Amino acid sequence: METTSLKKNQTVVDRVVTRLLVDPTLGVLALLVLICLLAAFTLPVFLNGSNLYNLVNNSLVVMILAMGMTVVLVSGGIDLSIGTTMALCAGVSAAAMNFGLPLFAALLAALAMGALVGLGNGLLITRLGLPDFIATLAMLGFASGVLYIWTKGVPIIGYMVPEFYIIGGLTPLAGPLTLPMVIALLVALVLGGILGFTRMGTHFFAVGSSKTGAMQSGVRVDRVRMQAYIFSGLAAAVAGIIMAGRNTNVPADLGNGYEIQAIAAAVIGGAALSGGRGRILGAILGAITLAAAVNLINLVGVPSSYQKIVIGGILVAAVLANRISAIVSGKVRQRKAMVLEGIPA
Amino acid sequence: MNFQRAASRILSTSGVPIVIALVIVIIVFQIMSPVFLTSGSVRDYINNAIPILLLTVGVAIVIVGGGIDLSVGTVAGLSAGTTMWALVSGAPTWTAVAVGVATGLVFGLFNGLMITVFGINDFIVTLATLNIAGGLLIVLTEKVPLQGVSTPGFSDLVYGNFLGVPTGFWIAAIIFVLMQFLLIRTVFGRRIFAIGIAPGAANVAGVNVNRVRLGTFVISGLLAGAAGVLLASRLGAVQAFLGNGYEFVAIAGAVLGGVSLAGGRGSVWAAVAGGLMLATLQQGLRLNGVDPVYFSIVTGLCIVAGVVFDRRIQQLVLGGIRKRSKSGPTPPAPAKLQETHLLGTGKQD
């Protein structure tokens, strides 16, 4: 009853626009389609099969980072150290191989490093009470310092066994399918499953929406926030392992600038910086949208030195769009509530 | 008990702990390497530190107002770039200075407007402008070689001499005094504290919260512009990555100087002392042959140490208040206070 009376008050166009603005995932999908259409008319090369394939392949590292970032954003935090953690974990896996450890041990070491950095972030935030972005900024400085001192500014090389070419996607698994694609899918399934179907996921949303409310409902807020950072550390480690394979060497500045791309992708995908909102599917589409925009700009012939400016601009635009979406969805909720109470809208 | 109260009062006075720590550190370094306090060495390291000290003050004012500005480092780098660009194009010194300061002003205005008009989270906006300014400098250095300028008077901005002291010191000192006056003695300054402590209450009390917040970002932008001009004057050439990471040192300096990240507490001279502390650590480590890369680790640790110390001080002060007003209602525990405080200042999405 209520919903029909709500629908009667709106035109179809109005409803479609509202729906697009309210549902972040639909919004980013619309943006992606828009970019593709724009590209199809101006630059036919863009829709070329190999270009699209490269585009998706290039977006995978940012995609995995964005998924980890989404978990943190949903729980009301932010992780500025994610790029540096990725570089550090790449370094750990490479150095472990050089040390003579078997492959699985090297990968485990990298994952452990990621979890450790995440735990460190979580402890700084929950035990010392540092604001999230200050703690992770300090961690960024700390981790990059450690990496520089450790490598002495010389890239780590000589660890590339054939398996690493597969891990990095340089040698495809079967046909066009590469291992990073499979890994990204697995990470998406795991994190999406956790966010959507487990108690832990519900707790992430609860803590992100209202810490006080969650605490009063008996959620162990500090532990939940720590878990979120450990997940983002693990995601960074997975991305780092892929990066080590793809780059074939690990320079100390490998992760520079990746944190802003991860945040931008997550925010494009509808994750709210105020917490409590976000989707893994959104992060995936966000990463592809970001890669598509950068790809398009490169195809138009803008030099790659403009990339930083473009990504910064996209981040501002995405946050603005997100803000508008929040305002509209607030209004819609208000209207629904009024209809439910029988007040004419 | 009396001693404890006296100690807590002294230590909770803004800026006192950091000055004590600074003196101790200087004495330690002087013992470790006797060249530390020679006049040339001191002049060098303060000269190097001045641009970052300006950034520290700007960031401190924004933080006191309950915000954060991550863009100051690359904006200073870009301002240095535009200043050099103006000089390379043949502009006189004062025009170039104006161009550099205006660059900072534009970014400060952009940050402030995005935050106040659209209600966007401040560290995301400034993270974005950090990248935009850094990217613009890369593009600028690719287009124009930013060096080889011999405009008369430009290098005198830093290296000139007035009453036996380099002009850079004078410029910085005047700016610091002005900023301290602004923050402590003017209505606008008191309003910055008000919106930093409780924006809602400030609004009810008739403060135009958005306008004051915009003002803090404009000030930080202007100071970043000034820092850029001094950087350009000192270096004589601008590289693509100038200013990267300065925001980190500036925030660390402000936090070390007792500026509370929760907003509403801090002073300019204490922030300067915090910035000097970091510069001293850097210089001391260099003189003792420590690899400069350790400095980023030291800076990270300093942020953590500063915040922990700040919390201890808060607990001491609140403990004192609780003891004095035994009949009154118990104030909330300090840790909780800080948390709700952060929630309160945490802006919309």
Of the partner residues B293, B338, B348, the one whose CB lies closest to the CB of residue A274 = B348
- 8 Å CB contact of A312 and B251: no
Of the partner residues A142, A153, A303, the one whose CB lies closest to the CB of residue B297 = A142
DSSP A154: S
Torsion angle of C-alpha atoms B130, B252, A267, B341, degrees rounded to 10: -130
- 8 Å CB contact of B297 and A309: no
Average confidence score pLDDT of chain B: 80
Q: Which helix (H) or strand (E) holds B162?
A: strand B161-162
Q: Give the whole-angstrom CA distance, residue A329 versus residue A22.
A: 5
pLDDT per residue as tens, chain A (345 positions): 444 444 455 667 776 666 666 666 666 777 778 877 877 777 777 777 788 888 888 899 999 999 999 999 999 999 999 999 999 999 999 988 888 888 889 999 999 999 999 999 999 999 888 888 888 988 988 888 888 888 887 888 877 788 888 888 887 877 778 888 999 999 999 999 999 899 999 999 999 988 888 888 888 999 999 999 999 999 999 999 999 988 888 888 888 889 888 998 998 888 888 888 888 988 998 898 888 888 888 887 777 778 888 888 888 888 887 777 777 777 777 777 777 776 654
Judging contacts by C-beta atoms under 8 Å, the chain A residues touching residue B123 are: 78, 133
Q: Give the whole-angstrom CA distance, residue A90 versus residue A168.
A: 11
C-beta contacts of B19-26 below 8 A and 24+ residues apart: B19/B273, B21/B277, B22/B273, B22/B276, B22/B277, B22/B280, B25/B277, B25/B280, B25/B281, B25/B284, B26/B280
Q: Which two structure tokens, joined as six digits, stand for B105?
A: 């002003």
Give the CA angle between residues A266, A48, A295 to the nearest 5°. 40
* φ/ψ of residue A174, rounded to 5: -150, 120
Nearest CA of chain B to the CA of A298: how many Å?
15
Q: Which helix (H) or strand (E) holds B166?
A: strand B165-166
Of the partner residues B114, B294, B307, the one whose CB lies closest to the CB of residue A316 = B114
Q: Length of chain A in residues, anyone?
A: 345
Nearest CA of chain B to the CA of A310: how many Å?
7
- 8 Å CB contact of A141 and B299: yes
Q: Give the whole-angstrom CA distance, residue B311 versus residue B306.
A: 9
R_g of chain B computed on alpha carbons: 21
Domain that holds residue B242: 2-345
When mean pLDDT is compared across A135-139, A153-157, B147-151, B306-310, the lowest value belongs to B147-151
Structural contact between residues A283 and A203, judged by C-beta atoms closer than 8 angstroms: no
Type of residue found at B200: G
Domains (range + CATH), chain A: 59-322 (1.10.3470)
What's the domain count of chain B?
1
CATH code of B31's domain: 1.10.3470
What ipTM is given for this predicted complex? 0.75
